[in-house]
Amino acid sequence: MIYIQFLLLVVNAIMPMPNQIIYGYYTVRISNICQIKFFSQQEFPNHILQLLLHYHQLITYDEDCDFEESINNINIKVDGALKFEISLESNEQLYWVKTTKEEAYELNIDENLNVRIKTSNHWGLARALDTVNQLTINNQIENLPIYINDEPQYIHRGVMIDTARNFLPVRLIKRTIDALVINKLNVLHWHITDDESFPLLLTNYSQITNNSKFWKDGYFTKEDIQDIIEYASIRGVQIIPEIDTPAHVYSWGRSFELAQIIIACDTDIQQYGQLDPTLDFTYEVLKSVMQDLNDMFAKVQFIHFGGNEASISCFEQKPSIKEFMDQNGIKNYFDLQVYYRKRQKDIWKNQIKSQKKIIYWYNKKHQLPADQDDIVQWCGQSNELQDLKLKTNPIILSDYDLLSLDIGIGDSFGDPDDFYQSWKDVYSWVPKLAEDFNGQLLGAEALLWGHTNTRNTHFQKLFLRSSILGDILWNSNSKTSEQFWQFTQRLSEMEDRMNKYKFPVSPFTSGYCKSQTQVCFPYFYIIQQNQTGKT
């Protein structure tokens, strides 16, 4: 057998790239695909049974196979069938993981199709099962026996979706989770509300939802939320909900009762609004909304409070705000936002007594003070990251110029918004921070804002560019260990895999170049950049 650190033959099928592989020379056909068996020394709890069912359906795709016969019947010997022996350190159901080791796994597959998986929990099991599924091509596995020792480089690997600008139904969100798992992405950041709509049914202020929803059933109930969180947890994906304030809240004030807490920003189109941070009633409504949020998302680790793009000119429209500032020693509108954020946090931490950590957007223009445990999500330009004033907070990267998947096709009004970022641009992205940054880099997210995204365009915009981000965040060393054409071969396999499972992803190249990757993509992309002078 041959030992390799990153890649050769067999990994042409695997994305993201595993950390370590040892492989042999045998190709073995899975002649009895329906006789797949799953075995463990302990009884499988329901959440693991659901995960095994999910991968049973993927591996036996288009076959009419009985899952119940697959559980704990390892002693039934069937030639040509995959036989899984699963060893978990814990059977506990997790809704997030704290370290990358919790997604690490060891995988052995021998020439008799015995599959041994050793991992910490069901999140690591999901990653291992996905690797087995990727290795299973046309009902056979090549280069047996195989040993893989794998662990992600970053703990936070995700995408953001937006259900406020165009509503996305529960079924589509679940399908998005399935797509993330195929790419070993583990975070779904859910931007739920914005100026356009508030599609989350509230307990005390349901009129916010009812007056802003796009159609009769265009909103999410508490039961929908719990269903999505459970679905994601089983597959090893954490949900991060976002309710953005004090800007992006025009949808809150479309009733007579609540109109007073909203400043309708004076623009050509009456669409943008901000909370009036000087009114006690604002914080009464905010507390109720945040209480609902805490209750509905009881099993999540983080809450995203947005916090960027508050307009000074919008605050200036209301003279009473300036009067309040003068009376309370608030020097400027920056300090007014600090005042709002302090009151928001007091409600969250001291009144509601939530233990969930808070994430805020940050870029060069929007940098309010943060508590030490606040998480910074960078959404500015890549070359401005050195201007981030917060040097010790945990950080998530979402560089606008390379990781915004919606730009380049125009905004809601048909106006140009920026240059489209191709899959090669995403491939060029490197997860790095300014030299003087001393905080922890958690990982990154690709952002899909919903201004021009619907269920019809959703997967084309998300993939395959998010697949590439997942590859980088799992193992960024793969760039230095493979030639560019080999990367595109893996990307081609991922495109075929996602199409197989009915995800209408955007093709990354022509049919000719998919079959001739060495001809079309002969060099490292970094070398190509240097040759063309692209920066």
158 membership: H or E segment, kind and range:
strand 156-162
Tokens of 53: 């069912």
Three-state SS at 288: helix
User: How many Cβ atoms are within 10 Å of 170's Cβ, its own excluded?
Assistant: 15
CA-based torsion, 359, 363, 364, 366: positive or negative:
negative
Exposed/middle/buried for residue 452 (C-beta within 10 Å: 0-12, 13-18, 19+):
middle
Exposed/middle/buried for residue 15 (C-beta within 10 Å: 0-12, 13-18, 19+):
buried
Catalytic residue among 102, 309, 316, 445: 309
Cβ within 8 Å of residue 58, ≥6 positions away: 133, 501
The whole-angstrom separation of Cα 487 and Cα 249 is 43
Q: Are 271 and 253 in contact (CB under 8 A)?
A: no
401 membership: H or E segment, kind and range:
helix 400-403
Number of H helices, E strands in the chain: 18, 17
Three-state SS at 25: strand
Would you call 435 a catalytic residue per the annotation?
Answer: no
The whole-angstrom separation of Cα 288 and Cα 307 is 18
- The residues annotated with a catalytic role in the active site are 309
